[in-house]
Structure 1
Amino acid sequence: MIASSAVAESCPAFLDHDQRKLHSSETVNLCEIANGKPMLVVNTASHCGYTDQFGGLETLHKRYADDGLVVVGFASDDFSQEADSEEEAATICYKNFGITFTMIAPGAVTGADANPVFQEINRQSSPPSWNFTKYVVDAEGNVTNAFPSRVTPDDPELIKAVESVL
């Protein structure tokens, strides 16, 4: 399902793709949930030393959702740290960390096969060099900041970048 024509006209093309949700047959079109809203986009992996950042990402989601922030996680095995199955990845996200923000099914975030969202993020910024790279995207679809894995979701610089696009 492509976003409605009115939404599609104003939504950046790289967001206008049906994305399958993690461990689900449901899809989501980011134009429908994020058009005209700032986003925090993160490439994730379930078996990474940074996996505990899921909790902080959920905290950001809850803290800023009413202000319009859309947090989207893109599960990926580009760095060989993803769970062996989507079911296991979903358990880690939803049960272990209580994730309620949108999680996209595993796919590439680097290289020629990168998800369309990451193709554009990588063009505007730089491709993730590891899991849990965080990209702050303004309401017009411009990457305003990128933060490496070691920057936690509660880092004051990340919070400042998020607040600057709200």
Structure 2
Amino acid sequence: MAAAAGAFEFNAIEGGTLDLDDWIGQPVLVVNTASLCKFTPQYDGLQALFDQYRDAGLVVLAVPSDDFQQELDVAEEVKEFCEINFDLDLPMTDITHVRGQEAHPFYKWVAQTEGFTPSWNFNKILLAPDGTIAATFGSRIEPQSQAITGRIEAMIAD
């Protein structure tokens, strides 16, 4: 069995940390995001997905990244941008590297475990309740697509 994602912590956008261990037992969709990308409107879908399944345990974690030079300069600007434009209340990390040598350990683990590295903003990694990687999705897969919701529904039905 592959290692589980629970061993990873992110710096939270509002300060403090977000520990994936806190969400073991729940499905988690981790999405590398950016404020100035053509896929940025997917924030609406991410929030809708979170709203639809949060009571069943789904966590949607937004991971702002400037690895593709499409993120605002400071975390406070990102947080404000997301609150004003998308009314986001899903958990969000500080601006984080998702690829290359400086990638966050979670993303290095995903690359090593699954061979998946975000190729652009709004790539998605679905973690099963046991912390293993259930699926990965590219930018073009919408958050509320059947490919994603079908897997989430199967996880929360168990």
**Does the TM-score normalized on the shorter chain lie above 0.5?**
yes
Distance across 2 between alignment mates of 1:71 and 1:46: 17
CA RMSD of aligned residues (A): 1.6
Identical aligned residues as a percent: 34
Shift of 1:76: 0.6
Residue 27 (str. 1) matches residue 17 (str. 2): yes
* Secondary structure of the corresponding residue to residue 43 of structure 2: helix
Q: Are the counterparts in 1 of residues 74 and 95 from structure 2 also a CA contact under 8 Å?
A: no
Distance across 2 between alignment mates of 1:129 and 1:111: 11
Decide which of 128, 138, 144 is 2:118's aligned counterpart: 128
Change (3 A) 1:47 1:143: same
Distance across 2 between alignment mates of 1:124 and 1:165: 21
Aligned 1:63-102 pairs, distance under 5 A = 63-102=52-91
What 5-or-longer segments of structure 2 have no aligned partner? none
Shift of 1:64: 0.7
* Secondary structure of the corresponding residue to residue 112 of structure 1: coil
* Secondary structure of the corresponding residue to residue 135 of structure 2: strand
Shift of 1:135: 1.1
| Correspondence for 2:49 | 60
Q: What is the total number of aligned residue pairs between the two structures? A: 153
Residue 113 (str. 1) matches residue 102 (str. 2): yes
Q: Are the counterparts in 2 of residues 43 and 75 from structure 1 also a CA contact under 8 Å?
A: yes
Decide which of 19, 25, 40 is 1:36's aligned counterpart: 25
| Correspondence for 1:152 | 142
Residue 140 (str. 1) matches residue 134 (str. 2): no
Shift of 1:98: 1.1
Choose between structure 1 and 2 for higher RCO, CA contacts under 8 A separated by at least 6 residues: 2
TM-score (norm 2): 0.89
Shift of 1:69: 1.0
Distance across 2 between alignment mates of 1:81 and 1:108: 12
Distance across 1 between alignment mates of 2:11 and 2:71: 17
What 5-or-longer segments of structure 1 have no aligned partner? 1-10
* Secondary structure of the corresponding residue to residue 160 of structure 1: helix
| Correspondence for 1:49 | 38
TM-score (norm 1): 0.85
